[in-house]
Amino acid sequence: MAAPTTTSAVTGGNSASRPLRPTQRKLPFPASLYQTAVGKKWVMALTGLMLIGFVLVHMAGNLKLYLGVVQHQGELIYDADAYGESLRELLVPIVPRTHLLWVLRLGLIGAFVLHIHSAYSLTRMNLATNFAYESKRDWLAANFASRSMRYTGVIFLAYLIFHLADLTWGLIPGYEWERGEIQHNVVGSLSNPVVAIIYVVANLALAMHIYHGIYSMFQSLGINNPRYNQLRRPLAIGVATIVLVGNVSFPIAVLTNIIEYDPSLLAG
Amino acid sequence: MSKRLNLTLSVWRQAGPSAPGSFMTYHAKNIPDDASFLEMLDIVNEELIETGEVPIEFPHDCREGICGTCGVMINGRAHGQEKGTAACQLHMRKFSDGDTIVIEPWRARAFPIVRDLVVDRSPLDKIVAAGGYVSAPTGTAQDANETPIPKEVADSAMDAAACIGCGACVAACPNSAAQLFTSAKLWHLNSLPQGQAERFRRTEHMVETMEQFFGSCTNHGECTEACPKEISQDFIAYMNRDYIKSQIVNRKLAGQK
């Protein structure tokens, strides 16, 4: 620790000794954990893991768009629509229809809120503590994905709001939105090349966000094992690629008529 | 006879902590290529003194890579382009004749500039003062070999203890975070038997002191690349793990389950 002593001797005092952030009153545990940056990163990693889980399940569910029409309880129905209905009927008759789905949705919304709030608050902290260099930096380890997390996150959030307005609430004009008619709505929405391009751009941002997120998650949670550390990059690349390839396949399949909506098939 | 280099330097000059600063251009002529980077600055300073100009203030002490006093941004990299090397151990033979070298002080809100290339790194001392020690008020120290320490543990603690506290990790971090420094100081003690009694109290205090001055880790990995001792980011994971544990363990110790 020779360094700081010498520089302090030069100044004849320590002008840097005043904290940049005043100490806060400690809240009771576990809220106290969320008051610290290390705790916020922990929350960010755990909520990120939940959100990645959702993204993977959502993508896997959408693969049913490829299955087309199936026999379901004696009638012809698009398999994607049957899957949507099965989500609403989770645990029926133990709990009433859509109740468990809402519990899951609330968990997801909670994860989103915490993920975004911790990101916002850590970004503010970092903007307050860093001091930009006047000369050009030569980055050695930071990559485009790691340095653009806050931008890819915001881009994807903007897309998410559009996505809900488009397919969940039917607020975006351009096709006849019908509640619960998943195949009809997805095909109607993504047949518009502009929507398809927005979809692809948002998923590129998402894949980059997931790539750094997965790599970073282990470090934030303190999961470190010399045996498995070298698997973090391949895992991050693998999951990001699965999400990207799966999700981007949908607009391409709609535009090339691989995924279709044909009401005459339902008439049987 | 060694090769001689002629270089153009672009150096940050700033008269005091609140004075305005700017890059000034200097010509370093006839620099022997076996000079160290700091010796090159000495040669430039001698010429500045002879011409009646104010010499460039730069941090330096042992000049053998162990004290942690030196450290400047050289062409956008902390301690320059040589991996695992402090600025004092960087030699001019690594540069070519006619090069332009941009030299800037460490930048972080917690490291105010004292003068030119010298910054005040005393917040790092505050982190160590918050728990970077082992309290053993027990009279004479016992023989070192009384406490058996497995080789792997001793190696890991030594890797962490290699930290010279130069602040390159903070300087290289886009968030000015001191995670690598703090985690190295923590693991140095937290991994050893002697450090166990205060392990979680130490972790809580040092992390919370760090957060008063420095940013938050976003796992870019620039710190390890910049570190003259190549300290591993793995220690940051150990620190994160111990910090979360400390929140529970310290409360248990205080009797509030």
Cα angle B227, A41, A101; round to 5: 150
User: Does residue A26 form part of some domain?
Assistant: no
Q: Nearest-CA distance from B46 to chain A in Å?
A: 21
Using a CB–CB cutoff of 8 Å, tell me whether B176 touches chain A.
yes
Are A42 and B244 within 8 A, CB to CB? Answer: yes
Question: What domain count does chain A have?
Answer: 1
CATH number of A49's domain: 1.20.1300
pLDDT per position in chain A (268 positions), as tens?
333 333 333 333 445 667 888 777 888 888 888 999 999 999 999 999 999 999 999 999 999 999 999 988 888 999 999 999 999 999 999 999 999 999 999 999 999 999 999 999 999 999 999 999 999 999 999 999 999 999 999 999 999 999 999 999 999 999 999 998 999 999 999 999 999 999 999 999 999 999 999 999 999 999 999 899 999 999 999 999 999 999 999 999 999 999 999 988 887 5
Are A2 and B67 within 8 A, CB to CB? Answer: yes
What gap in Å lies between CA B23 and CA A215, rounded to an integer? 38
User: Does residue A79 form part of some domain?
Assistant: yes
Are B59 and A6 within 8 A, CB to CB? Answer: yes
Residues in B closer than 8 angstroms to A134, CB to CB, are: 12, 23, 104
Residues in A closer than 8 angstroms to B176, CB to CB, are: 126, 129-131
Residues in B closer than 8 angstroms to A19, CB to CB, are: 212-213
Q: What is the tens place of the pLDDT at every residue in B43-89?
A: 999 999 999 999 999 999 999 999 999 999 999 999 999 999 999 99
pLDDT at B247: 86
**Structure-model confidence comparison of residues A24 and B97, the more confident one:** B97
Closest Cβ–Cβ partner in A4, A142, A224 for B234: A224
| Domain enclosing residue A215, as ranges | 35-129+144-262
pLDDT at A9: 37
Q: With a CB-CB cutoff of 8 Å, which residues 120-149 of chain B face chain A?
A: 120-126, 128
Are B216 and A37 within 8 A, CB to CB? Answer: yes
Using a CB–CB cutoff of 8 Å, tell me whether A33 touches chain B.
yes
Confidence of residue B144 (pLDDT cuts 50, 70, 90): confident
DSSP E strand boundaries for chain B: 4-14, 21-32, 73-74, 77-78, 100-104, 113-115, 118-119
Using a CB–CB cutoff of 8 Å, tell me whether A41 touches chain B.
yes
pLDDT at A18: 79
Are A219 and B217 within 8 A, CB to CB? Answer: yes
- What's at A170, amino acid-wise? G
User: Does residue A135 form part of some domain?
Assistant: no
Q: What is the tens place of the pLDDT at every residue in B103-139?
A: 999 999 999 999 999 999 999 999 999 999 998 776 7
Residues in B closer than 8 angstroms to A30, CB to CB, are: 247
Nearest to A143 by CA among B214, B222, B230: B222
Q: What is the tens place of the pLDDT at every residue in B2-23?
A: 799 999 999 999 999 999 999 9
Q: What is the tens place of the pLDDT at every residue in B204-251?
A: 999 999 999 999 999 999 999 999 999 999 999 999 999 999 988 877
pLDDT at B257: 53
User: Does residue A22 form part of some domain?
Assistant: no
pLDDT at A127: 93
Are B164 and A3 within 8 A, CB to CB? Answer: yes
pTM given for the model? 0.91
Using a CB–CB cutoff of 8 Å, tell me whether A225 touches chain B.
no
Are A2 and B17 within 8 A, CB to CB? Answer: no
Domains defined along chain B, listed by start:
4-115 (3.10.20.30), 121-253 (1.10.1060.10)
Give CA separation, B1 vs B32, B34, B243, in Å: 9, 10, 56
Please say whether the beta carbons of A141 and B225 come within 8 A.
yes
